[in-house]
Amino acid sequence: FLPHLVASSEQVEETYIMVKPDGVQRGLVGEIISRFERKGFKLSGLKLFRCPRELAEEHYKDLQSKPFFPKLIEYITSGPVVCMAWEGVGVVASARKLIGSTNPLQAEPGTIRGDLAVQTGRNVVHGSDSPENGQREIGTSYKTQVLVFQT
């Protein structure tokens, strides 16, 4: 029961948010967490890990046939990521809005990518695109991974 975060538990969802290696390396973890906290969502899990190749491929399996897929896997596995589960009413779609468009040059100012990134291939953060994928990604990418303590 969360009296100060939700007036009604209807439509409480979970989404998987991941600060990508460039975001961790650039020291943007606090900034990104802060934006979700200030919006009013609840952080329900967080960890730092280096994403193994197999997991990166599973996470992005819908993009397997894209020409940028090998570079994407290289990027995501290139350093530690900060993985989070966030919950709240409408959190999946709202998080996508807070994150902004995939191409940071098209992302609106005020969004994470609009304010903090330039290139699609270095767009600092991931957010699930549907409640179903939120559950899938929390199950595969969040729950199964082992912590790393060194960057």
Q: Which of 15, 94, 111, 123 binds ligand IDP (CB under 6 A)?
A: 123
CA 107 and chain centroid, separation = 16
Kindly indicate which of the ranges 22-30, 48-56, 72-80, 129-137 contains the residues binding Mg ion, using the contact rule CB under 5 A.
129-137
Cα separation, 42 vs 2, in Å, equals 9
120 makes contact with ligand IDP (CB under 6 A): yes
Question: Cβ 113 to Mg ion, closest distance in Å?
Answer: 12
118 makes contact with ligand IDP (CB under 6 A): no
Maximum distance among all alpha carbons in the chain?
47
Question: Cβ 63 to ligand IDP, closest distance in Å?
Answer: 6
4 is catalytic: no
Residues ≥6 apart with Cβ < 8 Å to 111: 97, 98, 99, 100, 101
Phi, psi of 82 (to 5 degrees): -105, 120
The single-letter DSSP state of residue 123 is: -
Contact of residue 59 among Mg ion, ligand IDP, none (CB under 5-8 Å per partner type): none
For the segment 1-60, give every residue that binds ligand IDP (CB under 6 A).
none
Dihedral sign from CA coordinates of 59, 81, 48, 135: negative
Residues of this chain that interact with ligand IDP (CB under 6 A) are 63, 68, 72, 102, 120-121, 123, 126, 129
Which sequence positions are flagged as catalytic?
A: 126
Residues of this chain that interact with Mg ion (CB under 5 A) are 129
